[in-house]
Amino acid sequence: MTDVTYYTQEGLDKLKEEVHYLKTTGRQLISKAIAEARDKGDLSENAEYDAAKEAQGLHEAKISKLEATLSGARLIDESKLDLTKVLALSIVKIKNVKNGATMSYQLVAESEADLKTGKISVKSPIAQGLLGKSVGDKTEIQVPAGKVEFEILEISR
């Protein structure tokens, strides 16, 4: 059974583009590498051919994995998100109670996570500690540096 994962339109489009690329251009490149290796002679002692066939297997496995992810992908209508509590795709502004530092994160699917752009996986410890909480709530979250208490300042989309 496939896990259901929620995506933004942008994340779903990227996933579809990657599958399309792997099925078209990616397969063509691997076929070309296999053909070139085959042209070099005896296949029983041809390391290039073996490597190209192994790359083909890994490529097909990646396509299968992404297609399984795509089959469980669900698009969330961001305009209908409940802004009274933290949910998947919420943008949450939090404050570290101890040092007063504030930060904002959007909770997204694992494949969309990118800390540089402020997108964290809903499966990450911080996201898990924030899910279901409301503005003004304080929550203690176990992070690699130890337990940190955060206060939720704002929830948006």
- Using a pLDDT cut of 90, give the percent of the chain over it: 41
pLDDT above 90 (res 76): no
The whole-number average pLDDT for the span 131-151 is: 90
pLDDT of amino acid 30? 93
pLDDT of amino acid 78? 67
78-156: CATH topology: Chitinase A; domain 3 (3.10.50)
pLDDT above 60 (res 71): yes
Per-residue model confidence as pLDDT tens digits over 78-125:
676 677 888 888 899 999 998 999 999 999 888 888 889 999 998 899
Looking at domain 5-75, which CATH architecture does it have?
A: Orthogonal Bundle (1.10)
Domain ranges of the chain: 5-75, 78-156
**Geometric angle at alpha carbon 77, from 73 and 78, rounded to 5°:** 115
Kindly tell me the sign of the dihedral angle through the C-alpha atoms of 150, 111, 73, 17. positive
Long-range (24+ apart) CB contacts under 8 A made by 47-56 are 55/30, 56/30
Per-residue model confidence as pLDDT tens digits over 14-23:
889 999 999 9
